[in-house]
Amino acid sequence: MFVELHILQSFGPSNLNRDEDGNPKDCEFGGVRRARISSQCLKRAIRRSPSFTRLTGVPNGMRTKRMADQLRLRLETAGLEKESALNLGNEFAKAYAGKTEKGKDGGPDVTNVLIYLAPKELDSIAAGLHAGRPVADLAVELAKAAKNRTSAPDIALFGRMLADSPITNIDGAVQVAHAISTHRVDTEYDFFTAVDDLKPSDDPGAGMMGSIGYNAACYYRYARLDWNLLLKNLDDRELALRTVAGFLQSSIDANPSGMQNSHDNQTPPALVMAVVRKHGGGWSFANAFEAPVRPGREGGLIAPSVERLADYYQHLTENFGNEDARPYVLALHPDLNLKGLAEYSVKGQNEWTKAVLTSLSNG
């Protein structure tokens, strides 16, 4: 079974996800420039959302080069002397990751690549090291134990890959598309000056000046969750259901953190649509917006974007059928014309999440 997630979300002036020049990311689609938020940015916002760990009830995995330091901390807490804990942590990190670099000022070594592990996995290794188990044996055991499963919901959802230890790789149960604006967007620039509070009054001019790129856009977001793969990755049905609940809730709650101090764009989505399917062959609705949406007669891009999505879904179901699909629509913006989606409307975020989970549970 699969869960497709379709979200329409509008942001005011913002710089949610920056490119190498510090400007909002964009792309060309349908022959015009669109605002864009990368899938990596969205996934991090989801897994770092407080609602994700609150609903799963399990700590997130750690993606870090500082595995040795995490092991050192656990070993010291267990009563090992500082130097012994440091050496064991360094030795295991090198055995597991293949290569490490010396830490600064005699501190713990760091791996050459990011390691993505669940806290329980680190706890288990630290316990083995403390008990005097050989480092090489423990590294092999961790790799075998991590094969195709994890106790961390975010790793189960988004996967992990370690080239030097491919046995630990996990195929992510969620595929996330880049979010794109439903309409044409041009980057604008905010020219700013900063005042030097202690500058003499006879010395005119600003203490600093510059410019920051920003845009404002209504985005279409799409993700697809493979329920059976999530079950396999976690090997725990109840945790898998809580993970789906966390994913749904945090997808609504989480906003990219780019330049929040300057723009504070904590805007909820306008429309969220989940489609539960028994079989594969999911539908992205990106092509609903291949021809860019234009503002309505009274302005605004949310309403015409919703209507475009509703029309496109009806077109797909008329041509391909929807016997395999169970849609659930949550309208979070007032007075939307849902058109053919109105029959799938669910009132309230909690009821919407419950409906999706019940659909998965019933198969």
Task: Provide the Cα torsion 71, 72, 75, 80; round to 10°.
Answer: 160
| φ and ψ of 343, to 5 deg | -70, -15
Task: Provide the Cα torsion 297, 298, 299, 304; round to 10°.
Answer: -60
Name which of 180, 183, 233, 216 is nearest 15 in CA terms: 216
pLDDT tens for residues 139-173?
Answer: 888 888 877 788 899 999 999 887 777 788 899 99
- The answer to whether residues 352 and 320 touch, using CB atoms and an 8 Å cutoff, is no
Distance of CA 279 to CAs 39, 144, 226, Å?
24, 31, 10
DSSP string, 281-323: -----GGGGSSPP---TT--SHHHHHHHHHHHHHHHHHHH--T
Percentage of residues in the chain with pLDDT exceeding 90? 70
Distance of CA 172 to CAs 141, 188, 262, Å?
22, 36, 34
pLDDT tens for residues 230-246?
Answer: 999 999 999 999 999 99
pLDDT tens for residues 59-98?
Answer: 999 999 999 999 999 999 999 999 999 999 999 999 988 8
In the block, residue with structure tokens 């999530």: 230
- The answer to whether residues 188 and 214 touch, using CB atoms and an 8 Å cutoff, is yes
Q: Which helix or strand (DSSP H or E) is residue 75 part of?
A: helix 67-77
pLDDT tens for residues 108-118?
Answer: 999 999 998 89
Write down the domain spans for the chain.
Answer: 2-57+174-181+218-362, 62-151
CA dist 46 and 31 (Å) reads 30
pLDDT tens for residues 1-58?
Answer: 999 999 999 999 998 988 988 889 999 999 999 999 999 999 999 999 999 999 999 9
CA dist 274 and 2 (Å) reads 10
Q: Confidence band (pLDDT; 50, 70, 90) for 190?
A: confident
The answer to whether the pTM exceeds 0.85 is yes
Residues in the chain: 363
